[in-house]
């Protein structure tokens, strides 16, 4: 919110005007906005575009759930079509009523390789098999995880994949490698800083609070742009600040988790750390159905959404669950289970997190507008239009003031 006070007359201020914090912040606010105006606009537009494909929906249990076969039977049915030598590493429930469940298979790590305990994504050569959870009819899925890599911006027929283009613009500005993501993260830092300096620049004088929240047309172009800039900024300040902060957090989670004292469960949410289990001699590890029963006891009201299966004897089960009524995108609860001891090693239930942990766990949802509800989705979607508005009004103010100053100097 570039809110550099416009002079009441057209007389230029003397060069010897004293230093002030507000004037310095205004200088930073203006030039950061001008220098990075194009990336800021791209982030806003692409962010709103990406939200269109993720409209808020509440999770509801599949009406066929009572007729589903046990998970172990679904995995066995999928195993018959899996390539030889591959082990099941993940089970996922149907995404929607009438759709199949899926089981992912992967080649175990080679001798000497570290076991990827955080999930199936670390294993080699994934194959996905879909299974009707009622009839157990199975088939090898086309595409999906491990099926040909991520989609490209230019399709084979030469057309543009707009969804992928917007995703890559928003996530890395089309800059390859980790440098692109880092660049976007620092843009988030700058935008968060603009929010903070903007509130300082907007702060009205006594007896001017009422007019600081509205735009009065019929004034000079400088004044109209200034009031539009400030009014839009203050009405959406909290939403825009949360979106900017959460975007920065997504890129630099370790930094913020350390600063705010996040629990291990929150720190492990994205880069899951190994949970090693010790095989028990002369014992048989529990199957997926027993793990599901333990997980449901640990998360009352939870409905299983997926299971990360032990790919070797030193790995646990990871069962993820949601509750009916949860909005899509809400962080899922997770229960980690020792298959040899037949016990829960750790429960991560978002509903019982502390205030700080819950706030940090919801950063991706707050940024993307999902997982909370329609009201937040709409506010975040609108916030994508704020960077173009701020850039347009801010640069217009700056240009008009320069033009007016030149005219005064020419007349003098």
Helices (H), 52-161: 71-79
Helices (H), 203-275: 221-235, 237-251, 253-260, 264-267
pLDDT band at 146; cut points 50, 70, 90:
very low
**Sign of the alpha-carbon torsion through 135, 136, 142, 143:** positive
pLDDT at 15: 46
Q: How far apart are CA 387 and CA 240, in angstroms?
A: 10
Check whether 125 has a pLDDT greater than 70. Answer: no
In terms of domains, do 249 and 396 share one? Answer: yes
Same domain assignment for residues 125 and 255 = no
- Shared domain for 169 and 203, answered yes or no, is yes
**Which carries the bigger pLDDT value, residue 122 or residue 367?**
367
Residue 10 pLDDT > 50, yes or no? Answer: no
For residue 142, being part of any structural domain is answered with: no
pLDDT for 370 = 87
Question: Of 352, 369, 386, which closes a domain?
Answer: 352
Domain match, 110 and 189 both: no
pLDDT of residue 141: 81
Task: Read off the pLDDT band of 148 (50, 70, 90).
Answer: very low
Rounded-to-integer distance, Cα 412 and Cα 35, Å: 31
Q: Which domain holds residue 89?
A: 65-133+275-352
Per-residue pLDDT, averaged over 59-63, amounts to 87
pLDDT of residue 117: 42
DSSP string, 5-16: PPPSSSPPPPTT
Angstrom distance (rounded) from CA 76 to CA 101: 13
Q: Smallest Cα–Cα separation from 123: which of 332, 309, 320, 276?
A: 309
Same domain as 255, residue 165: yes
Region 332-352: mean pLDDT is 93
Let me know the angle formed at the C-alpha of 322 by 317 and 328, rounded to the nearest 5 degrees: 125
In this prediction, residue 269 carries a pLDDT of 67
Residue ending a domain, choose from 352, 370, 397: 352
Q: Are residues 25 and 163 in the same domain?
A: yes
Nearest alpha carbon to residue 246 among 155, 341, 372, 349: 372
198 within 8 A of 30, measured Cβ to Cβ = no
The verdict on residue 305 lying in a domain is yes
For residues 223 and 304, state if they share a domain. no
Rounded CA gap, 259 and 255, in Å? 6
Give the span between the Cα atoms of 243 and 48, in whole angstroms.
12
Query: Could you tell me the pLDDT band of residue 124, with boundaries at 50, 70 and 90?
Result: low
Question: Which tokens hold the place of 331?
Answer: 């962080």
Q: Are 307 and 327 within one domain?
A: yes
Write out pLDDT tens, residues 157-186. Answer: 888 999 999 999 999 999 999 999 999 999
Q: Are residues 343 and 311 in the same domain?
A: yes
Asked if residue 253 and residue 162 are part of one domain, the reply reads yes
pLDDT at 114: 46
- Give Cβ neighbours of residue 287 (< 8 Å, ≥ 6 apart): 72
The answer as to whether 329 is a domain residue is yes
Please state the rounded mean pLDDT for residues 333-359. Answer: 92
Query: At residue 253, does pLDDT exceed 80?
Result: yes
Whether residues 49 and 174 share a domain: the answer is yes
Query: Would you state the pLDDT for residue 271?
Result: 57
Q: Distance between CA 170 and CA 49 in Å, rounded? A: 10
Q: Single out the residue of 151, 138, 162, 184 nearest to residue 40, CA to CA.
A: 184
Q: Is 6 contained in some domain? A: no
- Residues 162 and 222 grouped into a single domain: yes
- How many domains is the chain partitioned into structurally? 2
Is residue 9 one of the residues assigned to a domain? Answer: no
pLDDT of res. 110 = 58
Domain membership flag for residue 141 = no
Where is pLDDT greater, at 58 or 234? 234
Has residue 142 got a pLDDT over 70? no
Report which of 332, 300, 306 is spatially closest to residue 319, judged by C-alpha positions: 306
Q: Which one, of 167, 311, 181, 191, lies nearest residue 253 by Cα?
A: 181
Residue 272: pLDDT band with limits 50, 70, 90: low
pLDDT classification of 228: cutoffs 50, 70, 90 = very high
- On whether residue 368 sits in a domain, the answer given is no
Residue 122 lies in a domain: yes
Residue bearing tokens 């002079």: 7
Query: How high does pLDDT run on average in the chain?
Result: 87
More confident residue, 38 or 7: 38
pTM tops 0.75, yes or no:
yes
Q: If DSSP codes are grouped into helix, strand and coil, which group holds residue 237?
A: helix
Q: What share of the chain has pLDDT > 70, as a percent?
A: 88
Q: From residue 8, how far is each of 200, 257, 362 by CA, in Å? A: 20, 47, 46
């Amino acid at each position: 919110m570039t809110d550099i006070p416009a002079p009441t007359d057209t007389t230029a201020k003397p060069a010897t005007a004293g230093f002030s914090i507000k004037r310095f912040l205004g200088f930073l606010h203006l030039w950061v906005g001008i220098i990075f105006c194009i990336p800021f606009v791209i982030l806003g537009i692409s962010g709103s575009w990406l939200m269109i494909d993720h409209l808020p929906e509440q999770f509801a249990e599949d009406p066929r759930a009572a007729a589903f076969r046990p998970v172990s039977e679904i995995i066995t049915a999928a195993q018959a079509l899996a390539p030889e030598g591959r082990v099941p590493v993940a089970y996922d429930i149907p995404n929607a009523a009438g759709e199949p469940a899926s089981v992912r298979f992967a080649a175990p790590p080679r001798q000497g390789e570290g076991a990827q305990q955080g999930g199936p994504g670390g294993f080699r050569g994934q194959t996905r098999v879909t299974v009707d959870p009622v009839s157990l009819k199975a088939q090898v899925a086309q595409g999906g995880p491990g099926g040909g890599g991520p989609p490209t911006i230019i399709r084979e027929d030469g057309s543009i994949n707009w969804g992928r283009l917007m995703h890559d613009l928003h996530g890395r500005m089309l800059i390859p490698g980790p440098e692109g993501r880092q660049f976007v993260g620092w843009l988030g830092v700058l935008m968060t800083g603009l929010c903070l300096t903007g509130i300082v620049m907007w702060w009205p004088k006594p007896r001017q609070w009422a007019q600081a929240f509205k735009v009065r047309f019929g004034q000079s172009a400088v004044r109209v742009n200034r009031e539009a800039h400030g009014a839009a900024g203050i009405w959406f300040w909290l939403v825009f600040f949360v979106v900017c902060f959460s975007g920065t957090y997504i890129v630099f989670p370790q930094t913020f988790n350390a600063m705010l004292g996040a629990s291990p469960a929150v720190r492990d949410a994205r880069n899951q750390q190994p949970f090693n289990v010790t095989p028990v001699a002369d014992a048989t590890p529990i199957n997926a159905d027993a793990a599901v029963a333990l997980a449901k006891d640990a998360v009352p009201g939870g409905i299983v959404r997926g299971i990360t299966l032990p790919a070797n004897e030193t790995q646990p089960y990871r069962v993820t669950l949601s509750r009916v009524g949860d909005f899509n995108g809400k962080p899922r609860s997770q229960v980690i289970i020792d298959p040899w001891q037949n016990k829960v090693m750790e429960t991560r239930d978002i509903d019982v997190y502390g205030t700080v942990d819950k706030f940090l766990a919801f950063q991706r949802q707050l940024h993307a507008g999902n997982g909370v509800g329609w009201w937040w989705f709409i506010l975040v979607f609108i916030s994508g239009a704020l960077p173009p508005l701020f850039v347009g009004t801010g640069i217009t103010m700056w240009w008009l003031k320069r033009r007016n100053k030149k005219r005064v100097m020419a007349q003098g």
